[in-house]
Chains A and B, each alone.
Chain A
Amino acid sequence: MSRQLLVEKMSPVVVDAAMAPGAGSLGGPTADDRAAAEPALRVADLTKSFRSGFARRRLRGIEGVSFTVGRGEVYALLGHNGAGKTTTIGCLLDLVRPERGEVTLLGRDHRDRASRARVGYLPERPYFFDYLTGRELLEFYADLLDVPRRERTDRIDRVLRQVDMLPDAGRRLNKYSKGMLQRLGLAQALLGDPELLILDEPMSGLDPLGRREVRSLLQELKRQGTTIVLSSHIVPDVEELADAVGILRDGRLVLNQRLDSQTGACTYLVRAAAPAKAVLAAGLPGWALPVGTAEDSAGSDTPPTLLATDAEKLRELLDACHRAGLPVRTVEAQRSGLEDLFMRTHAQRTVV
C-alpha cells in the first residue's frame, strides 16, 4: 500500500478547496445567486452533547465538527457505530439541535425550513407506514414536497424506475423486504429532485446485489451533478464514490481529506494468463510478488496475483511481463488507502 496516502494530521481540518468565493459580482447578485455560489453544505464547529439518565449526566455527541462539501461532490462520513455520524446528520437537518456551530444547506441557514426543499434524506433504518402502498407513500411525500399535482404521477414513476421498484409499487409496505424498504427510502429521497442528498448508511440491510445497485445509482446521480453526503462504517462501500472523506471518532472529526489529492494512489492487481510456474520463472521485479506468494503458488496451477502500487510500477511490471512473453489476462485498479487511513485513525484509539 502506498505510504503517501497515510495522513498524519489528526486535528479537524476544513476542506476549503471547494469553497466558492462569496464575493458579490458586478450587477448585484440576488439572494438566489448568492445561494447558488455557496457550497452545497457548510458545517462549522458543530457541537452537541446529550443528557442521559436520572442524574442528567452529560454524554458527548459530537464536538467541533467542521467540513465543507462543494456542489456536485460526494462526501463520505466514516466512523464506527456510535462515532457520531447519525448525530451529525441529525444536526444538518435540524432534527437535533446543536449547542454550538453553524450549518448552511445550499446557501441557507439549516433552521430555515425552505433550505430543505432541495434536500433528499434517507435515514439509517427507513420504515414507513405499514398499511400504505409504495405509491401512496410517495404521493404522501410528493404533497409534503409541494410537487405540482400534474407532475406527481410522472415524477413518482420516474423515481420508482430509478430504484427499480415500479412493479412493486402497488403492494403494501408491510409486505416489503428490508432491501425494498431501503430502495423505497431512496425513492422518497429522490422525489424532490434534490440538489443535495443526505444518506445515512444507504447500503445497510442490502444484499451484495442491492449494494451494487445502490452504488451504481449513486454514481449515476453523481454524474448528473447531485451533491451527496453519505455515512457508512463500511469503507469499500464509499471508496469508489467519495471525492472527500471525513472520519469521525468518538464524536470528533479526526480526519477530513479530499481523495482526489491521492490521484495515482491506486493499487493495480495484475493477473497473467500463464501457469504459476511460468510466472514465477519470468524474472519479474521482486516487489510485484507480495511476500509469501512464491511459496504459496509454487505447487498450484493458479497464477499468483501480481501487485503494482502505483502507475509507474504498473508500467514497469507490464513491460517486464511483455519482455518475458507472459500474456496478461486482467489488470484491476483498486483505489486502496482509504481502508488503511480508516484503520490507522482508529488504531490510535489504543494509544490514547
Chain B
Amino acid sequence: MTRRHVTALARGTFRETVRDRVFYLVAVFGFVMLASTTVLSPLTIGAQGKIVSDVGLAAMVVLGLLVVVFVGSGMVRKELDKGTITTILAKPVGRREYLLGKFLGLNLTMAAMLAVMGVMFLLMLLMSPGAFSLRFLVAFYLTFLELSVVTAVVVFFSTCVSPVLAAVFTLGVFVAGHLSQSIRDFGSLQEGVVTQAASTLVYYALPNLEVFNVRGAVVHGDPVTIAHVALATLYGVCWASLLLLLSGAVFSRRELRG
C-alpha cells in the first residue's frame, strides 16, 4: 500500500464526482427540500423547528445515499468499459490500493456534500426560533458514519455485479440495515428455534444502521451519550474495513477485460 497512490486515486475520484453535474443537481435538490420545509412549517403549530430539522436530516440521509449509490455502483464497471481502470492498474498500482482510493474519494465527496447540506441546514434553523443547537453536529457525524458503511457496501457490490444490481443490492442493504434490529426483536419473540436462529443470522450478516440513527433523539432533545457515539464509531469502522477487505479479495481475483 502506497499512501501516494491511494491519495492520488482518492483525489482523482473526488474531483471527478464533484465536477460531475449529478452532484450539483442533487445539491440543488437538497436546497429545494430544505426550502420546502419553510413552506411546511407554518402548517404546524408550535413544532416549527422540529419539522424543519426532521425533514432536513432525513433529506440529508436520502441525498447522501443517492450520491453514494449512483456514483459508487457503476464505479468499477464504468471504468472498465472506458478502459480507465486498465491504464491505472497497468501502472505499479495494486488492486487493493485502487479500491481503497476509490472508497476514500467517494467518501470525501459524500462528506463534502453532507458538510454543504449541514451548513445550509444550520443556517435555516437559525431562522426558526429556538431550534438551533450544536447537538445536530452529532447527528451529522453519525450520518456520515452510516453513509461510509453504505459506501463500503456499494464498493463491494461494484466489484462483483453490474451497476444496476449493485445499486439495488445496496439500497436493499440500506433498508434491511435499518430494520435489522427489528428483525432480531421480532425473532426473539417467536417460539420456533429456526425463526430465532434465522433472525439472529440476518442481524449479524447485515450492518445495523439504526446504531447511527440518532436523528430523532437529537431533534426531540433526548440524550445521546459519548459512549454511544464511540461505540457507533468503532462499529462503523469495523464494518467498513471488513467490507473493504472482502472487496479487495473479490477484486484481486477478477478478470479485467473491457
Contact = CB atoms under 8 A, between A and B. Distances in A.
A135 B247 CA distance: 31
A251 interface: no
Interface string A129-150: 1111000100011011110000
B87 A185 contact: yes
A131 B19 contact: yes
Interface in B1-60: 2, 4-5, 7-9, 11-12, 15-16, 19-20
A87 B257 CA distance: 8
A258 interface: no
A123 B19 CA distance: 25
Nearest to A90: B257
A7 to B, nearest CB: 31
Contacts of B88: 141, 144
A116 interface: yes
Nearest to A117: B92
A268 interface: no
B191 interface: no
A127 B19 contact: no
B86 A129 contact: no
Interface in B197-254: 253
A311 to B, nearest CB: 42
B127 interface: no
B94 interface: yes
A277 to B, nearest CB: 57
B88 to A, nearest CB: 6
A79 B222 CA distance: 71
B2 A146 contact: yes
Contacts of B137: none
A129 B83 contact: no
A188 interface: yes
Contacts of A119: 90
A10 to B, nearest CB: 28
B56 to A, nearest CB: 29
Contact of A127 (B5, B84, B253): B84
Interface in A65-118: 86-87, 90, 93-97, 113-114, 116-117
A212 interface: no
Given A116-B91, A123-B83, A143-B7, A132 B16 contact: yes
Given A93-B89, A145-B91, A145-B92, A131 B255 contact: no
B4 A128 contact: no
A246 interface: no
B258 interface: yes
A93 B4 contact: no
A225 to B, nearest CB: 21
Interface in B87-107: 87-94
A108 B218 CA distance: 58
A125 interface: yes
A119 B93 CA distance: 12
B62 interface: no
B256 interface: yes
Contacts of A97: 253, 255
A265 B88 CA distance: 41
Contacts of A189: 87
Given A87-B257, A131-B15, A140-B12, A121 B87 contact: yes
B5 A144 contact: yes
Contacts of A185: 87
A192 B83 CA distance: 19
A24 interface: no
A126 interface: yes
Interface of A: 50, 86-87, 90, 93-97, 113-114, 116-117, 119, 121-132, 136, 140-141, 143-146, 185, 188-189, 192, 198
Interface of B: 2, 4-5, 7-9, 11-12, 15-16, 19-20, 82-84, 86-94, 253, 255-258
| 10 interchain residue pairs of minimum CB distance | A143-B8, A131-B19, A121-B90, A123-B83, A127-B82, A95-B256, A129-B16, A144-B91, A93-B90, A117-B92
